[in-house]
């Protein structure tokens, strides 16, 4: 499920928020990866899932990510101010495997972009001459589409349809949810002009992807000019809370699930804000306060640790992460 909102036209910071909606805990960890971390895009939980010609690389940039099921990253930003977010898209179709192309399993798609790209344009260039390979975890296929944005406010949405990469690239692509495809989402959005919202404008109130997309557009257009980073982050987080799915919503049979967490990436100041829906406390991390030098250990915090609140940068501790 999930929703992503980018705010790239205020005078304070480029900010991107996302919500994670899922039928169970994704077992998230907040993980800091230093530069120079070697990866194998064909391994998942120590098992080869890309048997022939897996993509291998060593990270150019350090990153701070939220992991999913311990097999890869689903959200985060790197030290150059590039952020990436993976959202569910049931219609994802990667096509048959072409072993002449280096294969990257979908659980590491986000991490690959954060490791090797400083800008959206660089992230898009990385998608040439490689092939994504579908994997499953906990009985769910990793059918995702990805939003990327950078510190200059550039943005892109990446989807796969019939084995082909479809890209929407431009600062104007600030919103994203789930199915239908992004082309269809934009068509639905065009049917209602949210650029001049008013209190008399009818607003969809359900929790399906289409309604969340339109509410995100409406409230994004209403955001007041922030006076500082604190207010700017609070504004984006307010939208993410508005498009979240509350506990007990009886929509599971329709493929819509409760929100597990929300995050906001501040690409200008390189800070990451994270809020579990089961916790009253917002936590945040400053990349400048982490040891991200090549050779430094991988460190992490568990957001389900109930002792955490506020700035948790100093709470990161060495941890073995399996990718």
Where does residue 111 rank: exposed (0-12), middle (13-18), buried (19+ CB within 10 A)?
buried
**pLDDT tens by residue, 214-236:** 899 999 999 999 999 999 999 99
Q: Tell me which residues of the chain have a pLDDT lower than 50.
A: none
For domain 3-318, the CATH superfamily is Penicillin V Acylase; Chain A (3.60.60.10)
pTM of the model: 0.95
Residue 255, CB-side half-sphere exposure with 13 Å CA sphere: 10
Structure tokens of 294?
């090549």
| Contact present, 62 and 75 (Cβ < 8 Å) | no
Structure tokens of 126?
């990385």
| String of DSSP letters for 210-271 | HHHHHHHHHHHHHPPPPSSHHHHHHHHHHHHHHTSPPTT-S-GGGT---EEEEEEEETTTTE
pLDDT at 201: 84
pLDDT at 250: 61
Which entry of 1, 2, 158, 312 is annotated as an active-site residue?
2
Q: Is 265 a catalytic residue?
A: no
**pLDDT tens by residue, 99-129:** 999 999 999 999 999 999 999 999 999 999 9
DSSP 315: G
In sequence order, the 6+-apart residues with CB closer than 8 A to the CB of 258 are 21, 22, 23, 245, 246, 247, 248, 249, 277
Long-range Cβ contact pairs of 199-205 (< 8 A, separation 24 or more): none
Determine phi and psi for 252, rounding to 5 degrees.
Answer: -60, -35
d(CA 45, CA 321): 10
Instruction: Write down the mean pLDDT value for the chain.
Output: 93
């Amino acid at each position: 499920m999930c929703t992503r909102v980018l705010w790239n036209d205020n005078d304070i910071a480029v900010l991107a928020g996302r919500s994670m909606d899922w039928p169970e805990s994704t077992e998230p960890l907040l993980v800091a990866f230093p530069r120079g971390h070697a990866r194998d895009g064909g391994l998942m939980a120590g098992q080869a899932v890309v048997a022939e010609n897996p993509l291998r690389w060593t990270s150019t940039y350090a990153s701070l990510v939220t992991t999913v099921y311990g097999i890869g990253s689903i959200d985060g930003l790197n030290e150059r101010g590039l952020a990436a977010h993976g959202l569910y898209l049931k219609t994802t179709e990667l096509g048959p495997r072409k072993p002449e192309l280096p294969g990257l399993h979908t659980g590491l798609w986000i991490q690959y972009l954060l490791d090797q790209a400083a800008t959206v344009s660089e992230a898009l260039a990385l998608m040439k001459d490689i092939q994504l390979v579908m994997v499953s975890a906990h009985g769910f296929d990793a059918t995702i589409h990805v939003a990327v944005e950078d510190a200059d406010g550039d943005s892109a949405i990446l989807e796969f349809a019939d084995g082909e990469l479809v890209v929407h690239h431009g600062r104007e692509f600030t919103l994203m949810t789930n199915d239908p495809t992004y082309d269809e989402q934009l068509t639905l959005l065009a049917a209602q002009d949210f650029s001049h919202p008013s209190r008399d404008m009818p607003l969809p109130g359900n929790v399906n992807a289409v309604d969340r997309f339109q509410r995100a557009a409406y409230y994004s257009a209403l955001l007041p000019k922030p006076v500082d980073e604190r207010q700017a982050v609070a504004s984006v987080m307010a939208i993410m809370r508005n498009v979240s799915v509350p506990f007990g919503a009886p929509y599971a049979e329709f493929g819509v699930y409760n929100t597990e967490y929300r995050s906001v990436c501040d690409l200008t100041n390189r800070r990451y804000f994270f809020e579990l829906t089961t916790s009253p406390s917002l936590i945040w991390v400053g990349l400048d306060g982490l040891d991200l030098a090549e050779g430094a250990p991988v460190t992490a915090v568990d957001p389900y640790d109930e002792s955490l609140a506020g700035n948790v940068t100093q709470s990161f501790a060495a941890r073995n992460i399996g990718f």
